Structure 1
Amino acid sequence: MSSSGNAVSHPPLPLTGYAFGAGGAILFASKGIIIKLAYAEGIDPETLLALRMAFSLPFYLVIGAVALLRLRARGEPMPGARLVVQSALVGALGYWLASYLDFAGLQYISASFSRLILFTYPLYVALLGALLFAQPIRPKAMLAFAVSYGGLALIFLQNVAAMGSDVVKGAVLVTLAAVSFALYQLCARSLLQRVGSGLFTCIAMISASVMAIGQFAVMRPVEALMVSPHGLTLAVLVAIGATVLPTFLMNAALKRISAQANSMISTVSPVATMVLAVLFLGETASVPEIAGAALVMISIGWFTLSDARRR
């Protein structure tokens, strides 16, 4: 096209946004793999969660301090004590309780199955929003719920036949983790607007870190922290590689691409978990498990995309 003044310049394709989104989803997907490897080193869930939060805590302390300094530089009011306490409580729900339930469930079920269960949390957001916050329930949510849990049922039955009743325990724990994270999403919405996303995230993560470290102090002896060098490396990886770094990548993606595009990219996460589980854990997937995973990802991807278009 001519370079005349009338020429229309088109913005470049936001490939970096898609790359950041996919990178964040894949790193989030690696969490279950790293946790499984840490369990093989003899690390228990309480110790691993405490190490994860302890290693990630300095990042959020620094980021939170910078956010407060920026508020002061702009002359904006600091959040009140009530807002800080509410943010801390909601953060403990989403980043401590949900994480602990997920960590505990991973003792009994595969990383792939756990990720697929967690992937259904948007449906619980819709259902709990209707039950607890009088939000309208949409038929598409019920349809997606039925299809996705039909897919999970295929995987569940296959796993029960192979591994027995422990699968039930693991599935229940991870389902409770998905419910806890859905409640966090519902409770965090208004706080995010009043506190700001960056500062709220830091308050939430600091609160979750205090809870995780406190839980360890109550349940485990301090000697449990003396893990092997390989176990310590895994704890650092789950803290930085599967917690801090993907958080920044997903935020960077949201600045460059639409919510719809980011929602669809998130469907990479369960697929990535399945691939990583085969490569690093030696997990295998039967035809019913693959079919079940496809049902979950298609139904949740469709529901999340259509929900994002409504906003």
Structure 2
Amino acid sequence: MDRTHAPSWRIAGFALSAAGAMLFAIKGVLIKLIYRFGIDTTSLLAMRMVLAVPVFAAIGVQRWRRLAREARPDARTFGLTMLVGIVGYYISSWLDFQGLQTLDAQIERLILFTYPFLVILFGRLLLAHPLRTHALVGAGLSYVGLFVMFAGEPSRLDRAALLGGAFVALAAVSFALYQLFAREFILRCGASLFTAIAMSAAGVAALLGFFLTHTAAALIPPGGAWPLVVALAVFATIVPAFLMSAGTARIGAQGTAIVSTISPVVTIGVAIAVLDEPFGWPEALGTACVLGGVGLFSLIESRPRSYRAAEEGPA
């Protein structure tokens, strides 16, 4: 039997994807803890990149050398991959980090979690992709959940929290654009090389932004923040990226998307335990709506195209 069809192969894929999703889920909590040391968004993002990018770059060099000359991406593909990486890994991350200055970690994770619907929307607006009913239903349910979470907690309706939510929403927009345009370049470069090029470009952009506004001394975190910054770079960036890639190779992108619904649940649990964030009926109902909307969308998208076409009719 081909090992890619063996149950153990798929079980390992689900386990790897789940582990990666859970590690990604702690990112917001780590950032909130680091902010207590007075570190600003631009400095923290630069610290993260300084630690993470050398690993991705080393892997990229290895992958580049292993490719035959004719299989390597051309200059145009290389440059566009860098641009896509700056949008997805630098701009999106900066907006997300900035939003976490004033927004609860659990709300941040749920807002970001709605990005698949934005991919569908931008695909329709920019590339004339079909806009299907189940995507609209899932998006509606998810955004109702976010409304409930904001409206049900008065403290989230002040200017600071709303501004934080706006930053994270823009991060979701940026990441959706990244997802929409990255697919073509992932196919051209391969996942590992694409990630290496994109992350390296984002790291250079982050450092340029840092040195334009800060002195080099601001790149060194206070002593007590060091373990948290290292954890952010290693356990909430590098390790989960490889786990998710390995999982996707076994169960596919849609399978990974479904498994990733565990991510907000983990964020909420850790945020409550570590940050003492509130969790009452607005959070419970809102979370159920967001997860339900994204889960519905992911499950239908993971079905064979023939079944969806029969249910939805012509695109």
Range class of TM-score, shorter chain: over 0.9
Q: Percentage identity across aligned positions?
A: 43
- Could you list the per-position Cα deviations for residues 95-146 of structure 1 after superposition, in whole angstroms to 9, with x for gaps in the alignment? 0000000000001110000000000000000011001111111111111111
Match of 2:104 in 1: 110
Match of 1:5 in 2: none
- The answer on whether the counterparts of 2:151 and 2:157 sit within 8 Å (CA) in structure 1 is no
The match for 2:145 among 140, 151, 155 is 151
Shift in alpha-carbon separation, 1:163–1:42, aligned structure 2, 3 A: farther
1:191 aligns with 2:185: yes
1:56 aligns with 2:52: yes
Q: Which amino acid aligns with 2:30?
A: I
- The answer on whether the counterparts of 2:102 and 2:160 sit within 8 Å (CA) in structure 1 is yes
Q: Which amino acid aligns with 2:217?
A: E
Report the aligned-residue RMSD: 1.7
Matches within 5 A, 1:125-274: 125-161=119-155, 164-274=158-268
CA distance in 2, matches of 1:143, 1:134: 20
CA distance in 2, matches of 1:44, 1:51: 11
- Could you list the per-position Cα deviations for residues 7-39 of structure 1 after superposition, in whole angstroms to 9, with x for gaps in the alignment? xx9644733222211110010001001000000
The match for 1:33 among 20, 29, 32 is 29
Gaps of 5+ in 2: 306-315
1:297 aligns with 2:291: yes
- The answer on whether the counterparts of 1:160 and 1:167 sit within 8 Å (CA) in structure 2 is no
- The answer on whether the counterparts of 2:248 and 2:255 sit within 8 Å (CA) in structure 1 is no
Match of 2:313 in 1: none
Q: Which amino acid aligns with 1:19?
A: A
CA distance in 1, matches of 2:282, 2:75: 51
- The answer on whether the counterparts of 2:150 and 2:156 sit within 8 Å (CA) in structure 1 is no
- The answer on whether the counterparts of 2:31 and 2:97 sit within 8 Å (CA) in structure 1 is yes
The match for 2:19 among 12, 17, 23 is 23
- Could you list the per-position Cα deviations for residues 179-236 of structure 1 after superposition, in whole angstroms to 9, with x for gaps in the alignment? 1000001111111111221111110000000011111111222221232122122111
Using the TM superposition, give the Cα deviation of residue 260 of structure 1 relative to its aligned residue in structure 2, in angstroms.
3.9
CA distance in 1, matches of 2:253, 2:200: 27
Using the TM superposition, give the Cα deviation of residue 310 of structure 1 relative to its aligned residue in structure 2, in angstroms.
4.6
- The answer on whether the counterparts of 2:73 and 2:189 sit within 8 Å (CA) in structure 1 is yes
Gaps of 5+ in 1: 1-8
CA distance in 1, matches of 2:6, 2:135: 37
Match of 1:43 in 2: 39
CA distance in 2, matches of 1:129, 1:13: 33
Q: Which amino acid aligns with 1:30?
A: I
The match for 1:67 among 48, 63, 69 is 63
- The answer on whether the counterparts of 1:46 and 1:216 sit within 8 Å (CA) in structure 2 is yes
Shift in alpha-carbon separation, 1:159–1:85, aligned structure 2, 3 A: farther
Deviates more, 1:195-204 or 1:13-22: 13-22
TM-score in terms of structure 1 length: 0.92
Match of 2:312 in 1: none
How many residue pairs are counted as aligned between the two chains? Answer: 301
1:85 aligns with 2:45: no
CA distance in 1, matches of 2:166, 2:48: 23
- Could you list the per-position Cα deviations for residues 30-73 of structure 1 after superposition, in whole angstroms to 9, with x for gaps in the alignment? 1001000000111111111000011001111110011011103x
